[in-house]
Amino acid sequence: MFWTLKRFSRKFRIGSSKLVMLITMFILVFTFSCAFDDGVEYGTLEFGGQKYKTVKIKGKTWMIENLLFDTKDDASFCPFADCAEYGRVYTWNAATQVCPSGWHLPKDGEFEKLRDDLRSDYCNQNYCGFIDEQLSQGWWSASEPYSFWYDSSGYANLQRSLSRDTDRRAVRCVKN
């Protein structure tokens, strides 16, 4: 039996205009709830007296803030006016040792997968919080001596770059 709008409104004693309004509201609520569900899980990590925001993207949990852990030597320093907001930078050797227990410095393949996920619609055009679009940023890779850079002029333009191990880059750890 095929239900027409008229037959449905008579059966349930709802005026046609009210029924159209209810259907429209249902469609809008469904559409907006899907549009804002980017399918990622956000959380926090506590390490070294700091709280870091994290995001789980397709099964991988990433820090979405630069590490702020002070190595107490010249292997890390704060090059920014607001170190608490932008984090510290590290030599490659220090970067391989500063991630919290249960976390590690990402390998090239992990960054490449992240880049693909950030470019897809999976992150709903906000890069899952991983990238600040106003800044050009670089993070160490565990694959010596490479780093990955985000150039603020491009769409999720996360590119691999050859670096010297004495260069200083930020660190984003990924959960084991």
Domain ranges for the chain, please list them.
5-35, 41-175
| 135-138: long-range pairs with CB below 8 Å, 24+ | 137/66, 137/170, 138/163, 138/169, 138/170
If you average pLDDT over every residue of the chain, what do you get? 75
Strands (E), 48-144: 50-57, 60-63, 76-77, 89-90, 103-104, 137-140
Render pLDDT for 36-65 as a digit per residue (tens, 0 to 9): 445 678 899 999 899 999 999 888 899 988
CATH class entry, domain 41-175: alpha beta
Q: Which residue has the higher pLDDT, 93 or 81?
A: 93
Most confident residue range from 99-113, 127-141, 160-174: 99-113
pTM of the predicted protein model: 0.69
Q: What is the pLDDT of residues 1-20, one digit of tens each?
A: 455 656 655 666 666 666 55
Q: Where are the alpha helices (DSSP H) in 16-175?
A: 16-35, 83-86, 92-95, 108-119
H helix runs in 96-149, sequence order: 108-119
